[in-house]
Amino acid sequence: MIPLSYQSKPSALHKRDPRCKLAALLLLSIAAGVAHHWWQLGILATVAFMSLFAARLPFKQLAQSLWFFGVIIVAVIVSYALTFGGPALFSFGNVSVSAEGFEAGLKFGAKLLIIIAICSAITAATSPSDLGGAVTWFLHPLPFVPAARIGTAINLTLVFIPMSFTCYTEVHAAARSRCIDLQKNPIRRITFLVRPVLEVLFLRVERMATAMEARCYNDDRVLPVYHAADADIALVVLSIGLLALALL
Amino acid sequence: MNPSTAHQPASAASIRALIYCALFTALIIVGSYISIPIPISPVPIALADFFIMLCALFLGPKYGLASVALFIGLGAIGLPVFTGGKAGLAVLVGPTGGFIVGYLFMVVIIGAITQRRKPTIPVTGLALLAGNTALYAFGIAWLKVFLNAPWEAAIAAGLLPFLPGLAIKIAAACVLARAMLPNFRKRNEGVFCKQSTTNLANPQRKTGSVCAPTLETACSATSPSYSNATSDAASNVASVALPHKIPRNSRDSSNASHNETPTTSCQEQV
């Protein structure tokens, strides 16, 4: 499983209106960013966990694919705990662990996990074309904004993210088998890693461009038709309520 | 949309630009998840700003700006695309928001400097240095105002730990640009750089651009039947660089008939 990639499943979250899911994503990510009390983070974490459950995502695979965030969270907690001032939680010799820093690190980790969980659930439950369509729908009334083009660009970006991850993983494995990891020179290491990734991706872009031209792609797209049911409106109202709670 | 242009297929150049913008946005996002530890600094190299530099070098100021703006837009709507998995509007107005907004200035400066020049290491290095100076000036000023800290503290937090990694990223971007950019510009002539006005009698001589002629550029000017026969899609498959080799018979005919005729892109011919 790759972060930010779509998973086709017959779940409750998959059936929701993409516009409402996009609005909920925006509102809940702002809510997670501005929440500062533990009770606010607790409520948001519960909602995030429920959204993962509603999207029927495999928790074990998700945790495995998001191990990188675990490293970041641990690093931030350690860094905050060792650099913040204030009363010490405990100390080893000259090194003291700040209680305030430890709490700040934990809050950062909680916020990050909430954002990741909500975003994983919503992107896994919304196909790239639906997400692009929802963005187009929101931008369409704005003058001088190429809504269709932006929608297509988002759609393509969400297609390219897993493709780039896969390509990077393959190239990295190939490079490791050739002992590139033993290179001391960081410039050579980056070059040996990035150049083949770019070459492969450029080739795929060429093919995609040819395919789009052959199908006479244009910006005069028919707007997708969406119908918001009561459950969709309830999702947006719940998100607004949670944002209001986070702002308290 | 103008009714006269409705249902007209988008030009090959605009489709290509759109896809490359999306690709570089995806690479910037992937880069924010990849970090390479280096022995000379405790701060690992995050590849997000490295890909932003490459984006500016490859796509130029206009499309580079579009690509970075798309990246910021995706982060703003809540996708965890910023470095460290952050997302949302709160990040844009937070202490590191200046660096994210500064990416826009960086990409424009790098793209504007390098777009019409050959990607030599001095030119690329100077452009990257100028772009990063703008990025850090904006980011550190924002950080200082946000934290209400003195300049020394803002510089110590926002610049000094990143300098070793930054030097390595600039050096690697220079090497990659020199190795890949000429071929990339040849493949995408007329998309990210101006179309060449090559004198067919002397293909080495170019005016106004660093792009080399492509297969169709040469063939469409020399053989009208070729340009009529090729479809837009097929021409793009064949749009590989022509390393100054033109079929002998067509070169002869071009010498005979229109020696001084400047060529245009095949896409226009078709």
Set of chain B residues whose Cβ sits within 8 Å of the Cβ of A134: none
Separation CA A235–CA B202 (nearest Å): 66
Query: Is some CB atom of chain A closer than 8 A to the CB atom of B145?
Result: no
Separation CA B27–CA B163 (nearest Å): 22
Set of chain B residues whose Cβ sits within 8 Å of the Cβ of A71: none
Verdict on whether the full-model pTM lies above 0.80: no
Token pair recorded at residue B252: 């002869």
Most confident of A6-20, A87-101, B81-95: A6-20
Token pair recorded at residue B120: 């030599």
Angle at which helices A147-177 and A128-139 pack, to 10 degrees? 150
Set of chain B residues whose Cβ sits within 8 Å of the Cβ of A196: none
First to last CA, chain A: 36
- Which pLDDT does position B244 carry in this prediction? 40
Nearest to B210 by CA among B227, B197, B224: B197
Q: Map residue B47 onto helix, strand or coil.
A: coil
∠B255-B258-B262 over CA atoms, to 5°?
A: 110
Separation CA A207–CA B77 (nearest Å): 30
Contact B19 A209 (CB under 8 A): yes
Contact B80 A116 (CB under 8 A): yes
- Which pLDDT does position B225 carry in this prediction? 38
- Which pLDDT does position B36 carry in this prediction? 62
Residues of chain B short of pLDDT 70, as ranges, are 1-10, 35-45, 84-85, 193-270
Contact A206 B187 (CB under 8 A): yes
Contact A190 B36 (CB under 8 A): yes
pLDDT digits 0-9 by tens, A34-71:
888 899 999 999 999 898 888 888 878 777 777 777 77
Q: Is residue A192 a contact partner of residue A177, using CB atoms and an 8 Å limit?
A: no
- Which pLDDT does position B38 carry in this prediction? 57
ipTM of the complex: 0.74
Q: Judged by CB atoms within 8 Å, which residues 91-130 of B form the interface with A? A: 91, 94
Smallest Cβ distance to A32: which of B7, B76, B88?
B88
Query: Is some CB atom of chain A closer than 8 A to the CB atom of B23?
Result: yes
> How close A79 gets to chain B, by Cα (Å)?
12
Set of chain B residues whose Cβ sits within 8 Å of the Cβ of A123: 79
Separation CA A111–CA A236 (nearest Å): 20
Contact B236 A209 (CB under 8 A): yes
Contact B78 A115 (CB under 8 A): yes
Set of chain B residues whose Cβ sits within 8 Å of the Cβ of A72: 84-85
Contact A186 B19 (CB under 8 A): no
Set of chain B residues whose Cβ sits within 8 Å of the Cβ of A212: 15, 19
- Residues whose CB falls within 8 Å of the CB of residue B110, separated by 6 or more in sequence, listed in order: B53, B56, B57, B61, B64, B127, B128, B130, B131
A173, amino acid identity: A
- Which pLDDT does position B113 carry in this prediction? 93
Set of chain A residues whose Cβ sits within 8 Å of the Cβ of B240: none
Containing A49, the helix (H) or strand (E) segment is: helix A38-54
Set of chain B residues whose Cβ sits within 8 Å of the Cβ of A189: 36
Separation CA B200–CA A2 (nearest Å): 50
- Which pLDDT does position B91 carry in this prediction? 77
Dihedral sign computed on CA atoms, order B61, B63, B69, B74: negative
- Which pLDDT does position B31 carry in this prediction? 84
Contact B15 A32 (CB under 8 A): no
pLDDT digits 0-9 by tens, A176-234:
888 877 777 888 888 888 889 999 999 998 898 889 888 888 777 777 788 888 988 99
Query: Is some CB atom of chain A closer than 8 A to the CB atom of B256?
Result: no
C-alpha B85 chain-centroid distance: 25
Separation CA B224–CA B155 (nearest Å): 61
Set of chain A residues whose Cβ sits within 8 Å of the Cβ of B77: 22, 25-26, 29, 135
Smallest Cβ distance to A160: which of B1, B6, B26?
B26
Q: Which of B28, B33, B169 to mutate to test the interface with A (most CBs of A within 10 A)?
A: B33
Nearest to A210 by CA among B165, B240, B194, B160: B240
Residue of B nearest to A211 (CA): B233
Query: Is some CB atom of chain A closer than 8 A to the CB atom of B88?
Result: yes
